[in-house]
Amino acid sequence: MLQVIIDFGRVYIFGHPVNLRIYGYGLMLVLGFICATYIARRRARRFGEHPDVVVTLGLLSLVGGIIGARLAFVIEKWDEQFAGRADRFGEILNVTSGGLIYFGGVILAVVVVLAYLRVRRLPIRRHLDILAPVVMLGLAFGRMGCLLNGCCYGGRCRADYSLAMRFPYASRPLLLLDKGANDFGAASVSPVFSHQVAVGPERGGLAVDDLPPWLFLRDSNGRVFRNTRGGPILKSPSELTTEQACLAADLRSLPVQPAQAFGVINAFLIAILLLCFSRLRRREGRVFALMLILYPITRFALEGIRGDNPHNLIRLELTHNQYTSIGMMVIGMVIFFALRYFQPGAGLFCSERAGADEPGRQSRTKQRKRRR
């Protein structure tokens, strides 16, 4: 876990504080976009399409994906994380520190991409096939960001589980240049640690009595502040003294499943499988359809080891992502088999479209010259 890569502190511009930080989650999003764009351009050339088009599609899907994923997260966590905040608007816009729901981003990104391809009259199925593997590649980097941020964590597991992970109270920045901060800098309490303190030992969490008393917010009478659900409220790492921060650096959560690491491996494997299937496909559009089938199946399984959303498969109490996975998988299967009734190809290639448009361009040029 490494929430903040570099913490430069803050500067004041015209009297307004501006924080200068590089977050691990945001850095992974940028690296994922760069790698995905590079591979998408190579695939576009191989598929006979213009590489610049996929760059535009990548930018549109990035913006649409982040907005859609953030909106889905805000809607789901409104009462828990946003309703009582003073700077509500600023918290909604703070995506660099995590808080995105992947399916929300996929839905809006696909809508934006389809609209662009439709307006430009470009072959939709071919471009979706180009983008499908790189979407999974981008997801892999996103899950790396989740691991660095500590969000999307796994559920409790046995202490002797060889792959178990223990998250810290908060993470120290890789490079701390803010001389006025303690060792944690601008990092926040890890979501796993905060969750286990909130649920308490009766639900498999941490006991308040086992933690240092100075770790909690207290009123003037020494009573611990509690949230709307009755859970104790932890101090922000920035509120600890230098000595307390040194002691808090040794605090760890109870062991949890490595959900983020499994998510990274899963996304990479699907991306490789889609790249291989691209060479075998006989109908354009099936690579994208296969992605809509494979990812929901694996996501449904991964939700079973997640600890950030309540679920119980035996009692058919599913998470919102599991319901979405079922719907997306059905849509993917329908598209995959329905493509047999369409033409194998999606239309003319880029060079063929350019050649077909050349007579029309020459005619329009002659008309303009006559008008002059």
Residues written for the chain = 372
Q: Are residues 67 and 50 in the same domain?
A: yes
pLDDT in tens, 296-342: 999 999 988 888 777 777 677 788 888 889 999 999 999 999 999 99
CA-to-CA separations, 219 to 210, 222, 224, 336, in angstroms, rounded = 20, 5, 7, 60
Instruction: Indicate whether 65 belongs to any domain.
Output: yes
Domain end, chosen from 248, 277, 307, is at 248
Domain contains 56: yes
Residue 170, in any domain of the structure = no
**Does residue 169 fall inside a structural domain?**
no
pLDDT score, position 77: 67
| Residues 183 and 316 occupy one common structural domain | no
d(CA 166, CA 196): 11
| Mean pLDDT computed over 47-71 | 85
Q: Are residues 10 and 96 in the same domain?
A: yes
Boundaries of domain holding 198: 175-248
367 part of a folded domain: no
- At 36-58, the pLDDT tens digits run 999 999 999 999 888 999 889 88
* Number of domains composing the chain: 2
**With pLDDT > 90 as the criterion, what percentage of the chain qualifies?**
29
| Lowest mean pLDDT segment, chosen from 54-68, 84-98, 162-176 | 84-98
Domain assignment present for residue 218? The answer is yes
Of 248, 282, 310, the one marking the end of a domain is: 248
Domain end call among 208, 226, 248: 248
Q: Could you tell me if 151 and 284 lie in one domain?
A: yes
The sign of the torsion formed by the CA atoms of 324, 325, 330, 336 equals positive
Answer whether residue 370 is part of any domain: no
Burial 230-259 (b: 16+ CB within 10 A, else e): ebbbbbebbebeeebbeebbebebbbbbbb
Q: What is the pLDDT of residue 74?
A: 73
The answer to whether residues 23 and 129 belong to one domain is yes
Q: Note whether 74 and 200 are same-domain residues.
A: no
> Are 304 and 207 part of one and the same domain?
no
CA distance 195 to 205: 8
198-233: per-residue pLDDT in tens?
888 887 888 888 888 888 888 777 788 877 677 788
Task: Return all residues near 124 (Cβ < 8 A) that are at least 6 apart.
Answer: 114, 117, 118, 285, 346
CA angle 40, 43, 47 (to 5 degrees): 135
How far from chain centre, in Å, is Cα 214? 34
Residues 301, 187 within the same domain: no
Over 80: is that where the pLDDT of 283 sits?
Answer: yes
- Rounded distance between C-alpha atoms, residue 158 and residue 150, angstroms: 19
Instruction: Let me know whether 128 and 145 are in one domain.
Output: yes
Positive or negative CA dihedral for 21, 24, 30, 31?
positive
- Banded model confidence at residue 288, pLDDT cuts 50, 70, 90: very high
At 143-154, the pLDDT tens digits run 999 899 988 899
DSSP H or E stretch at residue 8: strand 4-13
Q: Are residues 135 and 64 in the same domain?
A: yes
For residue 335 the two structure tokens come to 């598209």
Q: Distance of alpha carbon 212 from its chain centroid, rounded?
A: 33
- Please tell me whether residues 215 and 270 are part of one structural domain: no
Query: Residue holding tokens 């008309």?
Result: 367
Is 286 inside any structural domain? yes
pLDDT at 168: 92
Q: Do 28 and 130 fall into the same domain?
A: yes
Is it the case that residue 97 has pLDDT exceeding 60? no
- Considering only CA atoms, give the Rg of the chain: 25
Q: Rounded to whole angstroms, what are the CA distances from 314 to 67, 124, 152, 317, 318?
A: 34, 40, 22, 8, 9
